[in-house]
Structure 1
Amino acid sequence: MPSEPHIPEAMLAELQDNLGTVQTLLSVLGFLILDPLVSAEGEEGSRKVLHCRGKDAEATGEYTEDGLVVHSSSKARLKAVPSITDSVERKRENLQEVSLSEEGVLEKEDGTLLFRQNHAFGSPSAAAGVVLGRSSNGWRDWTDGEGRTLDEIERS
């Protein structure tokens, strides 16, 4: 059986540092591609499952240090309210777009928008805005199974 190649510790530390820098830069730009997404069941039950509910919307997610991950199979409101902000509307549109290389995150199904995969948002409010189809305070609109808001859970 072949042995694993030996990488000097100094080189490994430098590679890990470079990866951390790239990950930070991508996160700042809104690309969370190197951040692992939690599964719908949670990572070994370590995080609380949160809920965001509204008219024609019912989503679950988990709060992480990088923002909020909405679970696949969550349902978002199909039609946004007329007063929706441009940034939230653009985000909803971008998540529905299909490129040549991959399908959109949101797909129209049975009068709602269905999350086809887990998706990380930079903030709880951005996640709630997309789910509810309106401007939202995600710290208030995401709640746990006991009805406590994300603000109560994380900030108190």
Structure 2
Amino acid sequence: MSQGRSIRLFLVDGTPSGLLTAEIINWSGHVLTGPRSKFAELVQRPECGRTGVYFLMGPDPDGSPLDRVYIGESDDVARRLKEHNQGEHLGGKDFWERACLVTSKDLNLTKAHVKYLETRLIRIAKEAGHSIVINTADRIYDNLPESDQADMAFFLEQIRTVLPTLGLGFLREVTKPSQLQETSSVSMKMVTHSPVFELTSKNRSITAYGQEVNGEFFVLKNSYASEEWTSSPHSYQTLFERVVKEGALSAPENGTRRFIDDYAFNSPSAAAAVVLGRNANGRTSWTVKDSTLTYAQWQDEQVAAMDQPEADLALTE
């Protein structure tokens, strides 16, 4: 079981839509984030005058369902943000709607440190695939002593922990079900997973398999799905269209599509809806492979198993 952590959040102006700071107990890093509408207040913060790394996030103007992100570093973050706030014709960036910067409370981050962090962060964000990283070049900076590299590895781990809690998930590590077989690349102690589930639609020749890993429900690679949305308009129709647009599903063939790779959904119902091309209750549609046990029944068994030790203890008292 992984170790718990405490994160301290502070609403600078008392509103959740304004500037926000975040810190992890016993970590020297400091995170500041805010919307572009609060740009004037943001760049006046003392953190912006420090050495650090920063992120610019916003929707893709070309219509991709993935957001864009730009990752940079500076020994004067405020100056760089002011440059990015200019129009495209002046060398700025128009797409971003939110900025986030990570600095150090003890002021021990150097220019070399943040260049090293920038290199790693760009690589991680591209590999994660949650966003479109618009940095034009893959910078490679490894010119740090071994001890400093170890310190920055820990610093980087904390960044990847705190940013998703702020709704910034572009660095979030995802363990796919296919990786569970690659024990050399995945720390199995940090991974929780369910049995494999199955979903079928016999009249449409659709069979899909799913598995829950670290709280995310994946439809497995080579599972089949509906060619198109076949029911009345629903919020899941937008999700279906997004999955198709991302290229996660193959081109139609004989009335079905196929998942190109393991694909994560936020619930079994969302996964079932995309597979079937209509609204569906995933808690009853998915069944444990080679059994009639539904996802809901399987989950109830997990709760009962967790409660059993307490019941056994009560009987011995």
TM range (shorter): 0.7 to 0.9
State the TM-score, normalized to the length of structure 1.
0.76
- Confirm whether residue 37 of structure 1 aligns to residue 164 of structure 2: no
Aligned partner of residue 109 in structure 1, secondary structure: coil
Q: Give 1:19's aligned residue.
A: 160
Distance 1:139 1:51 in 2: 12
Q: Give 1:106's aligned residue.
A: 249
Q: Which has the larger radius of gyration?
A: 2
Q: Give 1:153's aligned residue.
A: 298
Matches within 5 A, 1:1-156: 5-7=146-148, 12-24=153-165, 25-27=167-169, 34-39=173-178, 47-54=194-201, 55-56=203-204, 57-85=206-234, 87-97=235-245, 104-107=247-250, 108-144=252-288, 145-156=290-301
Letter in 2 for 1:121: F
**Unaligned stretches of 5+ in structure 2?**
1-144, 184-192, 302-317
8 Å Cα contact 2:198/2:286 also seen in 1: yes
RMSD across aligned positions (CA): 2.7
Distance 1:13 1:130 in 2: 38
CA positional deviation for 1:47: 3.9
Structure 1 residue ranges (4+ consecutive) displaced by more than 3 angstroms after TM superposition: 7-14, 40-44
Distance 1:154 1:76 in 2: 24
8 Å Cα contact 1:127/1:138 also seen in 2: yes
CA positional deviation for 1:33: 5.5
Distance 2:168 2:270 in 1: 18
8 Å Cα contact 1:40/1:72 also seen in 2: no
Letter in 2 for 1:151: A
CA positional deviation for 1:153: 1.0
Alpha-carbon distance change, 148 to 42 in structure 1, aligned in 2, over 3 angstroms: farther
Letter in 2 for 1:91: L
Alpha-carbon distance change, 20 to 143 in structure 1, aligned in 2, over 3 angstroms: same
CA positional deviation for 1:9: 6.9
Aligned partner of residue 174 in structure 2, secondary structure: coil
Q: Give 1:101's aligned residue.
A: none
Alpha-carbon distance change, 74 to 49 in structure 1, aligned in 2, over 3 angstroms: same
CA positional deviation for 1:65: 3.3
Residues 80-137 of structure 1: CA distance to partner in whole angstroms, max 9, x if unpaired? 333251x211111111115xxxxx0012223201111110001111000100111111
Distance 1:76 1:53 in 2: 10
CA positional deviation for 1:71: 0.7
**Whose helix proportion is higher, 1 or 2?**
2
**Unaligned stretches of 5+ in structure 1?**
99-103
What number of residue pairs does the alignment pair up?
A: 143
CA positional deviation for 1:32: 8.4
8 Å Cα contact 1:50/1:143 also seen in 2: yes
